[in-house]
Chains A and B, each alone.
Chain A
Amino acid sequence: MAAQEAKLVERKAKRLALTGNYAVAYAVKSCDVDVVAAYPITPQSPIVEKISEFIANEELDAEMVHVESEHSALSAVVGAVAFGARAFTATSSQGLEFMHEILFIASGLRLPVVMAIANRALSAPLNIWNDYSDVMSARDAGWITIFNETAQEAHDAVVMAYRIAEDPRVLIPTIITLDGYILSHTVEPVEVIEREEALKFAPKRPRGYRPVLDPDKPITMGVVGTPEYYYEIKYQLIHAMRESVKVIDEVFSDFCKTFGRCYERVEPYRMDDAEYVLISMGATFGEVRAAVDKLRREGVKAGGLKIKVFRPFPADLLEKYIGGGNVKAVGVLDRAVTVGGATEGPVFNEVATALALRGIRLPMVSFVHGLGGRDIFADDVVKMFKILMEHASRGESARRTYFIGVRE
């Protein structure tokens, strides 16, 4: 694994016991954001509460816009970034849905907004616990999307997100996720990136390096795009998203050199000789690791792949890890559903497409688990591997999603 290969970087790092939410807030402080606008929603609220404390204590010099909704939170952040500020917002679940319209506008305007999402299920029924339905519903909105497995990852992701989003080759808004409660409210030791380090790694550029609202150089943003132009303008975003892979890899690699913590868009776990592979993301991947270890002890060649960067979708790395010839079957554990979809697993559908288009024909199985905070245990994942092995032995994909852990 990349992280284990990394050279130890000599740093005197400050370690603090932080929840995932606070880990995000500390990173936002270190990035010296200028404007913050957010609206309370569980489980995100402590991020903005902590940032408010930083501002109140003059630890962060920023303007806080106490907006009356998430729609306005993202709108205010869009305005601030269009004017040339570095800005931040955070939300969860219903709040993200309420922002939905503006998600597409932020990416369409190519504004490097950074937003944290503490993942939570969508109503109805009302549920404040973890799953990924919220961020999955933003998957077509044109945002770079980085999933995180630990509080440390979420902390690091904020700093990297500013550098990626603001890169003139990218200029795409970026979401970083943290699993509601599982990360957002769980205390972990976190190596905090200090302000000087963060601003060295993700420097603030001169205000005019990208088009901004400036009376000395007036521009019009948010135009009407007729059929003669709309398509090309959208295509530029598509192109930039594709090209952002290079920048993301560059930033990950530089981060590894600078801070000694190394990330990859897809992270393998015991994949070297793996025959049965389960793909997952975020904190859910912890259960995949545990199940892989358990099965390895039983002599099963199990492996896991963690999708760290979901947008742009890392098809190239999936091919690299799965297409080597060892793998006999691939499963995807989705913690969200696309009701009525080709399968109900949104990530599965993309993995299946990516592999099929690259000529990788293996039995594939879609699993869903953990909706609305239903606990996923390592044994549930072991069960998924067993189902996967069964399909491998029959040489057959599952036509329908397996719903694990549900009372039918």
Chain B
Amino acid sequence: MVYYAYFQGKAPDVTKKRFKTVWDIPKEELLAPGHRMCQGCGAAIVFRHLLKAVGKDVVIVQATGCVEVTTTVFPETAWRVPYIHVAFENAASVASGIAAAIKALKRKGVLPPDKKVKVVATAGDGGTFDIGMQALSGMLERGDDVMYVVYDNEAYMNTGIQRSSATPWGAWTTTTPVGKRWRGEWRWKKDIVGIALAHRVPYIATANPAYPLDLIEKFRRAFETEGPSLVHVLSPCPPGWRIPPDKTIEVAKLATLTGMWVNLEIVEGQPRVTVKVPKRKPVKVYLKMQGRFRHLRDEDIAFIQKVVDAEVERINKWVGEEAIGPVVEE
């Protein structure tokens, strides 16, 4: 289904894959080891792959948050590419300014016209869904040549696991505690993909570190888009999700296998599920792994299952095939 007649730019050729096997992934590490992210941090995997996909000819803008504070503690830095952090809510605007500067300086002969350099704005769910929403909307709406990556750990982790509008229903956080009256978060996650689509963004994708080839290929495509692109990446957080650090990939994988997270690619309005799940697992296997859902009762889990079923149906209809199959109990 085409949502809009025209888009704010041009998606790259998506008929060919650059990253077909893990051997296609560059060995060079542009995110240096020795950063201070927690053991098992999903975001560390996300950013390593991001830099492998985009290479050196990039400027990274990063919002305040976990990754920023753990990778740039003076006098050290984990970034082997140019990097700027300005504030929490303005990664998209800073990136727009850089994109404008690249354009102007090329046109005016300060940079060679064929100089390859592109800006990538990155922020957490808080820096994107909440406080950075306005700047993001402005950047997308103007059609600026900016790739935007949101690593979504489903809460404000840097400040101590407070809820954001990306926190899923039922999740415990320090501001949606489990007590007599409250039983974790009671609102559904904001639909960031729908918001990007409403801005006629030519390339939008969702990805998950449990599927690294899918992830890195999407990063590559978003980077090669002319105009704005957005990649929304699930980013498990062991302390915030209350999982052991060695379960990051397992939990991320279950998110997709249960249909709680769907790996999508929307190219100029055409949606596609890139990681199909013919036999879905029940959501409880995903929820039960995580301490943040420990308090959920059977009826809560049944409720989440119902909503996920409906969401899966909606997505299948949208992409025009049964990309995500029915729940099959093992």
Pick the contact of A76 from B81, B93, B104, B111 — CB < 8 Å?
Answer: B93
Q: Does A215 lie within 8 Å of B117, measured CB to CB?
A: yes
Pick the contact of A215 from B68, B81, B85 — CB < 8 Å?
Answer: B81
Nearest chain B residue, comparing its CB with the CB of A207: B110
* SS class, residues of chain A in contact with chain B: mixed
Residues of A contacting B68 with CB < 8 Å?
224
Residues of B contacting A61 with CB < 8 Å?
104, 107-108
Residues of A contacting B108 with CB < 8 Å?
34, 61
Q: Does A87 lie within 8 Å of B97, measured CB to CB?
A: yes
Pick the contact of A71 from B58, B90, B100 — CB < 8 Å?
Answer: B90
Q: Does A79 lie within 8 Å of B97, measured CB to CB?
A: yes
Pick the contact of B98 from A69, A71, A80 — CB < 8 Å?
Answer: A80
CB distance from A258 to the nearest CB of B (A): 25
In the complex, whether B176 has a CB less than 8 A from a CB of chain A is no
Pick the contact of A85 from B95, B104, B144 — CB < 8 Å?
Answer: B104
Given known A-B contacts A34-B108, A65-B97, A87-B101, A75 and B90 have beta carbons under 8 A apart: yes
Q: Does A221 lie within 8 Å of B110, measured CB to CB?
A: no
How many A-B residue pairs lie within 8 Å, measured between CB atoms?
Answer: 164
Pick the contact of B138 from A64, A67, A79, A87 — CB < 8 Å?
Answer: A67
Interface string of B167-206 (1 = CB under 8 A from A): 0000000000000000000000000000000000000000
Q: Does A222 lie within 8 Å of B58, measured CB to CB?
A: no
How far is B104's CA from A359's CA once the two chains are assembled, in angstroms? 53
Contact segment of B69-77, B224-232, B246-254: B69-77
Pick the contact of A79 from B80, B86, B89 — CB < 8 Å?
Answer: B86
B: interface residue count bin: 35 or more
Residues of A contacting B137 with CB < 8 Å?
68
Q: Does B98 lie within 8 Å of A83, measured CB to CB?
A: yes
In the complex, whether A102 has a CB less than 8 A from a CB of chain B is yes
Q: Does A79 lie within 8 Å of B98, measured CB to CB?
A: yes
Q: Does A221 lie within 8 Å of B85, measured CB to CB?
A: yes
Pick the contact of B87 from A66, A87, A102, A229 — CB < 8 Å?
Answer: A102
In the complex, whether B105 has a CB less than 8 A from a CB of chain A is yes
How far is B91's CA from A72's CA once the two chains are assembled, in angstroms? 9
How far is B141's CA from A15's CA once the two chains are assembled, in angstroms? 41
In the complex, whether A381 has a CB less than 8 A from a CB of chain B is no
In the complex, whether B33 has a CB less than 8 A from a CB of chain A is no
CB distance from B112 to the nearest CB of A (A): 11
CB distance from B55 to the nearest CB of A (A): 9
CB distance from A230 to the nearest CB of B (A): 9
How far is B80's CA from A67's CA once the two chains are assembled, in angstroms? 30
Q: Does A71 lie within 8 Å of B135, measured CB to CB?
A: yes
Interface string of A213-248 (1 = CB under 8 A from B): 111011111111110010001000000000000000
Residues of A contacting B135 with CB < 8 Å?
68-69, 71-72, 75
Nearest chain A residue, comparing its CB with the CB of B69: A224
In the complex, whether A101 has a CB less than 8 A from a CB of chain B is yes
Q: Does B93 lie within 8 Å of A83, measured CB to CB?
A: no
A34-B101, A214-B82 known, 8 other contacts, Cβ within 8 Å:
A72-B135, A76-B93, A79-B96, A84-B105, A215-B57, A218-B80, A220-B83, A222-B72
**Selected A-B contacts with CB under 8 Å, 14 pairs:** A37-B96, A65-B96, A67-B93, A68-B137, A71-B90, A72-B92, A77-B97, A85-B100, A87-B101, A215-B57, A215-B58, A219-B82, A229-B74, A233-B74
Q: Which residues of A contact B (CB under 8 A)?
A: 34-35, 37, 61-69, 71-73, 75-85, 87, 101-102, 105, 109, 207, 213-215, 217-226, 229, 233
Q: Which 7 A-B pairs rank lowest in CB-CB distance, beginning with the nearest?
A: A79-B97, A76-B97, A68-B138, A222-B85, A72-B93, A75-B93, A79-B94
